[in-house]
Structure 1
Amino acid sequence: MPERTVCDADVRRRVTTDLTTCFLLEAGAGTGKTRVLVDRYVTCVLDPERGTGDVRTVAAITFTEKAAGELRQRVREEFERQALAAADDPDRAEVVSRALDMLDDAPISTIHGFAGRLLREFPVEAGVDPAFEQLDQLGSDLERAQLWDEWLSELAGAGAESDPARRGLSRLLRAGVRLERLRELAIGPRGVFGERYDIEPASPWPDEPDLRGALEALEVPLSRLASFCGSACSTADDRGCVAAMELVDAGTALLERPPDDIDELAAALYALPVKDTPTAPGGAKGNWDPAQGGKDELRARYRAAAAAVSAAREAYAAFLTSVAVGVADGFSRWAAAAQLAQGRLDFTDLLGRLRDLLAGDLAARRALQGRFAYILVDEFQDTDPLQAEIVFFLCERAARAHDWREVVLQPGKLFVVGDPKQSIYRFRRADIGMYDQVKRLIADQPDGAGALEVIRQNFRTTPTIVDWVNTVFAGVFDDDREEGRQPGYQPVEAYRPRADGPRVAVLLGDEYGTAAGAAEAARRAEGQALAALLLAMHGDAHESWTVQDRDADDGAGEAWRAPRWADIAILFRSTTHLETYEQALRDAGVPYRVDGGASYFARREVDDALLCLRAVDDPSDGPAVYGALHSSLFGFSDDELFLFWAGGGRFDLFAEQPQQHAAVAEALATLRRLHERRTSAEPHELAQELLRAARASEVLAASGPAGPQAVANLQKLVDRARAFSGAGGRGLGAFLSWAAEAGDAAGEKESQVDDDGDVVHLLTIHKAKGLEYPIVILAGGALAGHGNGGEPIGDRERRRLAIRLKAELPGAPARDLEPRRYTDLREREKLMEASEARRLLYVAATRARDRLVVSCFGRLRNKDGSPAGVLLGPLADVLPAPAALDAPVEDGGVLVLPPEAPPAADDRDGAPAEVDLEASRADWARRRSVLIEAARRPAPATSPSGLEHVDEDVGRGGPGAPAGRARALALGSAVHRVMELCDLSDEASLEVMAEAAARELERPDLAAEAAELAAACWRSAPVRAAARAAASDPERVYREVPVGALTDGVVVGGAVDLLFRGDEGWVVVDYKTDRVAEPQELLARYRPQGAAYALVAEALLGTGSVREVCFVAARARQPDGSALVVTVPVDDELRAEARREIAGAAAAGRAVVPDELVADDEAVTPA
């Protein structure tokens, strides 16, 4: 085999041996940059002419602690190799030996470790305690939360009346800004406290805007608009004329009687009916006199009026957001001083304090410059801007510059390595614009002291994949190229020999659609197709999926072998919907492990453990107690818990419980014992005792391939609780609050288990950065894009923070106040995020060594043909179009695969059927409940839903329609779930809830129809009345309320869909999803059921408390799209009728099993 040469050997030689030039080295994926860093480091120490001979004078800064440890080890190995080579050179051998002896003291660390080291040398000059405590992330979070509470207490105290921050805070609260929003702005992940070293101090009391003057400026444009409508429009009912006059009338009324209060005036301005579209206010062209300018003149005058309204709104939004930033900044400055006084520094302090020391104290800068002869920085594309300032000041030729951008570098001292195509940490303050700025500064150094170099020889990936990546991403990057936002593409060249056959594959699924449930349906289909593909890959010794056998490569050529599970990695943009894919792999028997996804608190076992601890902390939280018993830790089914309750048990930790349900009683006793210890025991002790009592480790360890991960996650929960106490946290309640906030921030990683199993790796692209796998599958890339919220945006040029603020202005619903500056920055931020998504796609594609699979389930294009806002959107022009395939086909060197379903577990050769322990236990519990009830001979049990008057064969679809009945029952359950979880004030929540409900039922095909039926229910009069009741007092409204009563010797139990207290009494609402032609039919069928619900509800609320029962027929629509409602007044006659029906049902043996008590009232005619 001919000897292969490295195409960029000259560049590698120069950047590792030339110590007179500062370099910025761009190293593409797989090009061996760590090898270059090691060689440069060793040269800095051992070079005969310019080497220092002392590792303590050569600093290497890495992105993570893990990378620092690996770099130190690689440097050690190279020094050991150099020691063997220097056996005949005593002088060189002595230098190498000394380097090895001192290597543990070498400054090879993250930038935070490096900064902490330097601050301890100049603590007085930096204004820090010489023995300062360096807070980790947990300690920092707890510290900020505690300081926030202390600051609020101080503001509320006597003597703080004149504090501008107190006045600002009062002003915001008066305007309807919630304290939680201010807290998030102050101490949240992107809040003022974290950005305090990059923004100027802000005043919490700017001048109030002249809103009355702004309102008066509206008078003239309104008058001109009204005049034009009166003279130029030929018909008063023209849509544009109507819209324009609505604005005129509302604006004029406001001008005549403007509120005195500025917040009330702002609310009125926001309530004006202004249409903000290019064609506003609409209308027909033929209805407007062309001699007077026609519709163009209408639009111009309307826009002038709208602009006056927008100017007034903008003035108010700018004012209130400025007050909010000022208040948050007031806290930030106070908290920073308090934290400093306590001798504590967080990660931001380390960088900010060192930057300020170097920028402001020239003597300290000179001293620290002398400490280091060379500084090497890895992963520079993801650097914090403060880091760039620090390294430039330290590498300055002389301590003169007042601004880091004016620094003249010491020749050869600075060496930075990065790849702008892999800059994907913007959410951690990384700024690709900063990278470009540094690149220019190094290139423009005087006397040629700085240079830019590129290495492009890729040692990782097969040539076929390299060719595909170069071809595809040249277009992806160059189409989006802009300095400070997106770099140009630098191709790499493959070093490995070319292998036969395609190495890139596209798993091509359906496009699906945008209707409710479509995204989840796509994920389920994709998960099943991936599971089938993994089964086909595993153990495949044919050419189709073999991977390089590195252990067998003898240098004569690459050896290949069948892939193992551990050779395969599935990469996702985020772990938000990971459970769907996990379920598909579990069903197919594919062993897997989630590697460090940011979904720790979303894992079921962690969530269940926290739920149990909430019950321990607050036994009065009934849902938490019930949920703890129903959780995976205790594992009681709904059937068992219902029978426990029906038999006299109470979900009360302190009540005496019936002994015939000893298991449930013992679980409650366990929770009670832990509750009694909660004030004397630390949170981690309580968590450990809980897990031990529930035998969680034993049960989970035996639950399948994911069991060890679950056990490790629970152990991590104990560890985090221990760390919480160690960081100063006190009490179980405080720990649970911290855990809730950490879960919302989604920054906690899953616990890692020992990497000794042959399992498929599931991880995010961010987690995969720096790693490589023989087979890489990119999944979920054609589904919903990465959302962005209203978080603060840093304006580094102006050193200010722009925000969007939610406020509940007087007499108005909550709304976002968004000043123009935020809008402009948000548009720029969207472009930056879209560009970063392209780089994220590049990182994913370049993790593969031997095989790359791009899974495409979803839409890559919008209706207008433009690329959709999904991860794979930029590849819309290069990926195959959706097509019906019966077998794999090769298209331009890419293997296009049709999706297949995994075989049933029993059909796989030698594959043991995976036991679903949870389902098995539920089945056992159900059979056990039946036996217990038979032995006890309890009172007959029925439910209101068992009392409907309907012919069994016709109403339930007949004996020949089991599939239709199953679908109808599932659909009814989905609609009920949506109405239980949705936001009664936000109709948009229905679609999201429908997707979630359909996913719970494993029927994604029902999501769209469930959303439609739920929307009809949501719009109905009783539900709107409930929404108004909830807005005035949330305690007036309850959904899916379990109710039960002993009526004439019969246990009647069920769940009320919606129960709310109106002005004249309680109202029971029951949703129906079956087909009902007339109101009379609905009433005849369900009147007995409604009567029973009223009777049972009154057993809890008191006789006479329920005013009426409303049946909401989702399929019978009113003209406005709302559901038909039939109302049954509750009186003594109805109550008597209910008792007769219940007695008749019990006598006829028409009892139902507990898990049918809710679902059986659902649609039974096939929908």
Structure 2
Amino acid sequence: YFQRRFTHLLVDEFQDTDPVQAEILAYLTSSNHDEQNWQRCVPNGGSLFLVGDPKQSIYRFRRADIVTYTQVKGIIERTGGEVLTLSRNFRSNSELLTWVNPVFGTLFGNSESKYSPAAVEMHCGRTEAAIGEMSGVHISRIPADLDQEGAAVYDANVIARYIHNSIAEKKTVSRTEGEMKQGRGPCVEAGDFLIVARNKRYLRVYAEALDRLQIKAEVSGGNAFQNIEELKIVLDCLQAVDDANNPIYYVSVLRGPLFGFSDSDLYELKRMGGRFSYTVPVPDGLSDDLSGRFDHVNSRLLQYRLWLRGMPFTAAFKSIASDLGLLARCCSHEDGSIVAGGFLKAVEWMRAESWNFDSATDMITYLENMLAESETDGCNVMPQRGSSVRIMNLHKVKGLEAPVVFLANTSGAYSREPSFHVDRSDDVVRGYLAITKKKGPYQRQSIAKPSNWTGFKDEESKFEEAEEKRLLYVACTRAACQLVLSVASGSRENYSPWTRLHDHIAGLPELQIPVSDGPINRQQPSPPEMSLAAATQQIDDGWTAVRQPTYEVVAAKSAAMKESGDRPSWRVIGDYGHQWGSAIHALLEIRMNRPAAQFERIASQLAAQYDLGLARVAEMLATVDSVANSDIWSRARKSNNIYTEIPFETASPGPIPIPKITRGVIDLCFEEPAGWVIVDYKTDAIQLDDLPNALIHYRPQLAAYAEFWQDLTGHSIAEMGLFFTKLQSYSPLEP
């Protein structure tokens, strides 16, 4: 069946193919349908076309090693296929290739092996329509007396200054005819620069150096979340709220940047018999100021606990972060747009995963794991204006190019013995694992190992050594016009990932950075001269000013319901309060948007989340079924435009001289030929004879929602109504 459907396969970047993918390709093109061993399959003539460069095989750590490439190449050669060698390079100029060819002629050698391909001399196929001044291979030497971090900071500052000067002085690079047709002028811009590091540890340092010179940068291949302090702050807060009996979490919040308690403050609390818990009253004997501060913290943490217990977890997280002002804090950083974007990205990740949270502890665990993510790209909260310098680790850079490329960061190359070896050379794949434990900061001690482990370890070391050379090849062939190599000196040379290139840098020009540029840090204003008392008063006045509200937030429902006065007292039977309503609303939204979902499982999760108990799951499902089987639901399902739980927000003048922001959520809204219909679900436990009063009471809310909808969208409301889930009835109201 599949061979009839896919008669010809073309696979690009074949060197990145793993054994499972190669097996699929072999069976899809095999002329022998009964063959059980993919390595013995014979492809149908003309059915398989592969494009790949074994010199760019760099993903052995995820099974896409050069052995698979060589095996499939061998199948093609044995079965009458043709292997063509491509040697024309359309990316790099001739000046770069004049340096690259002898370098990798030495590193790869003239003959291929199972570890490495043979060198192929590349010929320049690039046709330049405009010749630029930034060209060739240059070096930038790093002083020998710097440690790892100091070397990265120095390197980042030099690169940032070079990029800044090149843009400011309108330096030029060569452009191809195609680039000129795309509107690319000869003068360099930020997007013409690519900074490549062997690993991700100091990527942020390079972004910060560029940011200080107001040059936009995008970081890929690092961990955007690890660098966001605000995520760690909210994690500490969530841990303290979730585990009220753990004094370590509580103290961490008190001493952290949120509330700024000193050790002396904490000592005073203990001295007066207090406990490190927000659920315990503050003891007598503290000063009024200190007692008030502890009361303030405890009241906020108690409020956060209510949110965690009474709201969907992601909503509670957002409410806590908003109350703490963490997004505003993100924006206050020098690279605030990136930090705030990363924070919002984390919130979105949590929202997408929230259906798997059965408790607040699950959410906290997910946030901890997120902060430990090995690779997470950053995200700008504002749309990029203009181009950006790209910064990434070496495994991210394959397939990309730039006019000017920096091989940066002279640290991260450590010699580590292999702990496993995988042999894919035979029909049966075999793996060999050595079990070790950590011994000191840089060594491991063997606990158990296979027989002949020395031979397996040496074999794996040869594969790793060959792949390191291929990584260098990928790095050195990204540049179109200019390649800049950061060169370590002295003992630091042993830790540089670019050391193998040092034998080939003799005679290369050094990067020229004008000394007159001075420090690249932004000028910091000098503090004003004033007395301590005046400075303290100025700080207090500043805090007083920032505490003044600049806008008011009101709930649309609450504002509208003021016209109705107090809610009439229904004859309530059973527990149908806020938590029940939240659970039903959430389940109705899922039922409309995901009709094939496993509702019993989801209802069980919601029952646990809102402390309703699993005994009420059947009642929850029956309630939702009654709505789903109603005429109004049927009308909504027939509509081409339907929205559930749609939030709205609008600004309007308030009773005080600050803007008023009105927010609300429309439960159900859909379009019919006569106009739009809005429906609000009511989960009140009312009786039938309470219905007239309930309609009068809730009418202002629906009228306000209709007015907001018309003002915000320009579309008229043809009908509005209330669906009372307890009565299983829908009551339309005239707009």
TM-score range, shorter chain: 0.5 to 0.7
Cα distance, 1:905–1:394 mapped onto 2, change above 3 Å: closer
Cα distance, 1:785–1:695 mapped onto 2, change above 3 Å: same
Shift of 1:591: 3.6
- Residue 525 (structure 2) pairs with residue 903 (structure 1): no
Q: Distance in 2 between matches of 1:870 and 1:590?
A: 27
Cα distance, 1:915–1:456 mapped onto 2, change above 3 Å: farther
Shift of 1:732: 2.8
Shift of 1:456: 3.1
Cα distance, 1:715–1:470 mapped onto 2, change above 3 Å: same
Shift of 1:396: 0.6
Residue in structure 2 matched with residue 434 of structure 1 by the alignment: 68
Q: Distance in 1 between matches of 2:275 and 2:93?
A: 65
Residue in structure 2 matched with residue 526 of structure 1 by the alignment: 155
Shift of 1:533: 1.9
Residue in structure 2 matched with residue 380 of structure 1 by the alignment: 14
Residue in structure 1 matched with residue 471 of structure 2 by the alignment: 840
Residue in structure 2 matched with residue 548 of structure 1 by the alignment: 175
Q: Distance in 2 between matches of 1:824 and 1:927?
A: 71
Which one-letter code corresponds to 2:277 in the other structure? D
Q: Is the 8 A contact 2:135 2:173 kept in 1?
A: no
Cα distance, 1:608–1:895 mapped onto 2, change above 3 Å: same
Q: Is the 8 A contact 1:772 1:848 kept in 2?
A: yes
**Residues 386-397 of structure 1: pairs in structure 2 closer than 5 A:** 386-397=20-31
Question: Cα deviations across residues 4-27 of structure 1 (Å, max 9, x unaligned)?
Answer: xxxxxxxxxxxxxxxxxxxxxxxx
Shift of 1:412: 0.6
- Residue 323 (structure 2) pairs with residue 708 (structure 1): no
Residue in structure 1 matched with residue 566 of structure 2 by the alignment: none
Q: Is the 8 A contact 2:337 2:380 kept in 1?
A: no
Residue in structure 2 matched with residue 597 of structure 1 by the alignment: 222
Shift of 1:435: 0.3
TM-score by length of 1: 0.40
Q: Is the 8 A contact 1:522 1:858 kept in 2?
A: no
Which one-letter code corresponds to 1:707 in the other structure? G
Which one-letter code corresponds to 1:849 in the other structure? A
Q: Distance in 1 between matches of 2:194 and 2:288?
A: 51
Shift of 1:529: 2.0
Which one-letter code corresponds to 1:581 in the other structure? Y
Q: Secondary structure at the match of 1:561?
A: coil
Q: Distance in 1 between matches of 2:224 and 2:191?
A: 21
Q: 1:878 aligns with which of 496, 504, 514?
A: 504
Cα distance, 1:497–1:587 mapped onto 2, change above 3 Å: same
**Residues 211-230 of structure 1: pairs in structure 2 closer than 5 A:** none
**Residues 274-423 of structure 1: pairs in structure 2 closer than 5 A:** 367-423=1-57
Shift of 1:395: 0.2
Q: Is the 8 A contact 2:419 2:457 kept in 1?
A: no
Shift of 1:875: 0.7
Q: Distance in 2 between matches of 1:417 and 1:915?
A: 58
Shift of 1:795: 3.8
Q: Distance in 2 between matches of 1:631 and 1:550?
A: 57
Which one-letter code corresponds to 1:817 in the other structure? I
Shift of 1:914: 7.1
Which one-letter code corresponds to 1:399 in the other structure? H
Which one-letter code corresponds to 1:573 in the other structure? R
Shift of 1:468: 2.3
Q: Is the 8 A contact 1:596 1:751 kept in 2?
A: no
Which one-letter code corresponds to 2:144 in the other structure? Y
Cα distance, 1:472–1:608 mapped onto 2, change above 3 Å: farther
Q: 1:816 aligns with which of 421, 446, 452?
A: 446
Residue in structure 2 matched with residue 504 of structure 1 by the alignment: 136
Q: Distance in 2 between matches of 1:871 and 1:540?
A: 32
- Residue 105 (structure 2) pairs with residue 491 (structure 1): no
Shift of 1:524: 2.5
**Residues 855-874 of structure 1: pairs in structure 2 closer than 5 A:** 855-859=486-490, 868=494, 870-874=496-500
**Between Structure 1 and Structure 2, how many residues are aligned?**
520
Cα distance, 1:644–1:832 mapped onto 2, change above 3 Å: same
Residue in structure 2 matched with residue 611 of structure 1 by the alignment: 236
- Residue 197 (structure 2) pairs with residue 572 (structure 1): yes
Q: Distance in 1 between matches of 2:212 and 2:276?
A: 35
Shift of 1:688: 1.4
Cα distance, 1:606–1:459 mapped onto 2, change above 3 Å: farther
Q: Is the 8 A contact 2:140 2:484 kept in 1?
A: no
Which one-letter code corresponds to 1:873 in the other structure? T
Q: Is the 8 A contact 1:382 1:431 kept in 2?
A: yes
Q: Distance in 1 between matches of 2:256 and 2:510?
A: 45
Which one-letter code corresponds to 1:441 in the other structure? I
Which one-letter code corresponds to 1:538 in the other structure? I
Cα distance, 1:439–1:594 mapped onto 2, change above 3 Å: same
Moved more, 463-472 or 595-604: 595-604
Residue in structure 1 matched with residue 681 of structure 2 by the alignment: none
Cα distance, 1:848–1:606 mapped onto 2, change above 3 Å: farther
Q: Distance in 1 between matches of 2:514 and 2:232?
A: 34
Residue in structure 2 matched with residue 803 of structure 1 by the alignment: 433
Question: Cα deviations across residues 339-387 of structure 1 (Å, max 9, x unaligned)?
Answer: xxxxxxxxxxxxxxxxxxxxxxxxxxxx332222111212111111111
Q: Distance in 2 between matches of 1:457 and 1:404?
A: 33
Q: Distance in 1 between matches of 2:397 and 2:190?
A: 17
Q: Is the 8 A contact 1:462 1:496 kept in 2?
A: yes
Q: 2:262 aligns with which of 633, 641, 645?
A: 641
Q: Is the 8 A contact 1:783 1:859 kept in 2?
A: no
Q: Is the 8 A contact 1:860 1:873 kept in 2?
A: no
Shift of 1:680: 4.7
Shift of 1:429: 1.4
Aligned-pair identity in percent equals 25
Residue in structure 1 matched with residue 691 of structure 2 by the alignment: none
Shift of 1:411: 0.4
Residue in structure 2 matched with residue 464 of structure 1 by the alignment: 95
Cα distance, 1:383–1:577 mapped onto 2, change above 3 Å: same
Cα distance, 1:667–1:482 mapped onto 2, change above 3 Å: farther
**Residues 233-272 of structure 1: pairs in structure 2 closer than 5 A:** none
**Which has the larger share of helix?**
1
Q: 1:539 aligns with which of 168, 178, 182?
A: 168
Shift of 1:690: 2.4
Q: Is the 8 A contact 1:375 1:414 kept in 2?
A: yes
Shift of 1:389: 0.9
Residue in structure 1 matched with residue 392 of structure 2 by the alignment: 763
Which one-letter code corresponds to 2:120 in the other structure? Q
- Residue 83 (structure 2) pairs with residue 452 (structure 1): yes
**Residues 682-721 of structure 1: pairs in structure 2 closer than 5 A:** 682-704=312-334, 706-721=335-350
Q: Is the 8 A contact 1:709 1:752 kept in 2?
A: yes
| Residue ranges of structure 2 left out of the alignment (5+ in a row) | 439-443, 541-735
Question: Cα deviations across residues 170-202 of structure 1 (Å, max 9, x unaligned)?
Answer: xxxxxxxxxxxxxxxxxxxxxxxxxxxxxxxxx
Cα distance, 1:851–1:806 mapped onto 2, change above 3 Å: closer
Residue in structure 1 matched with residue 187 of structure 2 by the alignment: 562
**Residues 129-208 of structure 1: pairs in structure 2 closer than 5 A:** none
Q: Secondary structure at the match of 1:455?
A: coil
Q: Distance in 1 between matches of 2:85 and 2:44?
A: 22
Q: Is the 8 A contact 1:507 1:899 kept in 2?
A: no
- Residue 206 (structure 2) pairs with residue 581 (structure 1): yes
Q: Once superposed, what is the RMSD of the aligned Cα atoms?
A: 4.0
Question: Cα deviations across residues 301-342 of structure 1 (Å, max 9, x unaligned)?
Answer: xxxxxxxxxxxxxxxxxxxxxxxxxxxxxxxxxxxxxxxxxx
Q: Is the 8 A contact 1:591 1:759 kept in 2?
A: yes
Shift of 1:581: 3.4
Shift of 1:430: 0.8
Shift of 1:399: 0.8
Which one-letter code corresponds to 1:567 in the other structure? D
| Residue ranges of structure 1 left out of the alignment (5+ in a row) | 1-366, 809-813, 863-867, 881-890, 907-911, 933-1167
Cα distance, 1:533–1:500 mapped onto 2, change above 3 Å: closer
Which one-letter code corresponds to 1:691 in the other structure? A
Q: Distance in 1 between matches of 2:169 and 2:415?
A: 39
Question: Cα deviations across residues 817-873 of structure 1 (Å, max 9, x unaligned)?
Answer: 1424444333322322222222222222222223221122345897xxxxx464212
